Chain A
Amino acid sequence: MEIINSGDSLTVMLSGEIDHHALLSLRGTIDAQIEQHTPRLLALDFGGVSFMDSSGIGLILGRRRVAEGYGGKVMIKNASGYVLKLIKLAGLTPMLMKQEVNNLL
């Protein structure tokens, strides 16, 4: 995982497999960055994710709660194929960045 801070926004480049086990360490690292930078926009980039289950949805909802606590907004970036299928199931399509919304059409 790589985190890019560009002033107003924080981009989290997620990679590998996201499950309950991975979430245990991921969320602490991301939350510490949110608390430090209080971004207006937190982008969760799923481009490098090879597998995820509903823990990935828990990751999104949990980070949204933390970021909104600091007045920020959360968007989902580069969700395709399998990740997108789960996001649709969870009803989180309004959180997709434009490009992903287009992929749905």
Chain B
Amino acid sequence: MNINNYFRLIIPSHSRNEAFARAAVAAFAAQLDPTVEEINDIKAAVSEAVTNCIVHAYPDKIGDIEIVGRIIEHDTFYIRIKDKGLGIADIKQAMLPLFSTCEEGERAGLGFAVMESFMDKLRVTSRPVKAGAAPSGTSVIMTKRVTSRYE
């Protein structure tokens, strides 16, 4: 894996940071010369992952969200969004379209569906919180090959 460029960003899980996170990621990804549609796909996928951290990982407190972006092999965008929150007990169920554990928040249950269909690859790993166990949290890794506008 040839990493050509990268960034690392840590933000607290305030909902007002959703717009900042996707704008920062989009600004970094812009060096791949993506089309408007590709950049919107990346922005939406980041927005979904960051919103999941805010709503599900840290429902009752503010915690850190770590975002790492990489340019790989000159044409592939890699992003990892990680929290140290509650974790997901059943990842398969969480990834089902329309499934949501959030009852009052009016979530459509489409977060993972958006990440899955707008990016090329999606990998989710999670460790649910347990008393006396290792630190919990969820990590979402996504990649997307970007076809340069000038190709």
Q: Which stretch from A2-10, A47-55, A68-76 is at the chain B interface?
A: A47-55
Q: Is A19's CB under 8 angstroms from B114's CB?
A: no
Contact with B along A53-93 (1 / 0, CB 8 A): 11101110110000000000000000001100010011000
Q: Contacts A61-B106, A82-B37, A89-B117 given: A54-B19 contact, CB under 8 Å?
A: no
A97 at interface, CB cutoff 8 A: no
Residues of B contacting A40 in the complex (Cβ-Cβ under 8 angstroms)? none
Per-position binary interface string of chain A over residues 7-42, scored 1 when its CB falls under 8 Å from any chain B CB and 0 otherwise:
000000000010111011001000000000000000
B54 CB–A CB distance under 8 Å = yes
Is B110 a contact of A89 with CB atoms below 8 Å? Answer: yes
Complex alpha-carbon distance, A57 and B44, angstroms: 13
Known: A53-B44, A86-B44. A21 touches B110 (CB 8 A): no
Number of interface residues of A (CB under 8 A): 22
Q: Are A62 and B19 in contact (CB under 8 A)?
A: no
CB pair A21–B18 under 8 Å, yes or no, is yes
Bound form: Cα–Cα A36–B15 in Å? 29
The prevalent SS among residues of A at the interface is helix
Which single residue of chain A is at the shortest CB-CB distance from B51?
A20
Question: Provided the pairs A89-B110, A89-B114 are in contact, do residues A19 and B47 lie with their beta carbons within 8 angstroms?
Answer: yes
| A86 touching B106, Cβ below 8 Å | no
Residues of B within 8 A of A19 (CB): 18-19, 22, 47, 51
Can you add 18 more A-B contacts, CB < 8 Å, to A52-B44, A53-B43?
A: A19-B47, A20-B15, A20-B18, A20-B51, A20-B55, A20-B107, A21-B16, A21-B18, A51-B44, A53-B47, A54-B107, A55-B47, A55-B108, A62-B106, A81-B37, A82-B37, A89-B110, A90-B108
30 residue pairs from A and B, CB less than 8 Å apart: A17-B19, A19-B18, A19-B19, A19-B47, A20-B47, A20-B51, A20-B107, A21-B16, A21-B18, A21-B19, A23-B106, A51-B22, A51-B43, A53-B43, A53-B47, A53-B114, A54-B44, A54-B48, A54-B110, A54-B111, A55-B47, A55-B108, A57-B110, A58-B105, A81-B37, A82-B37, A82-B40, A89-B110, A89-B114, A90-B108
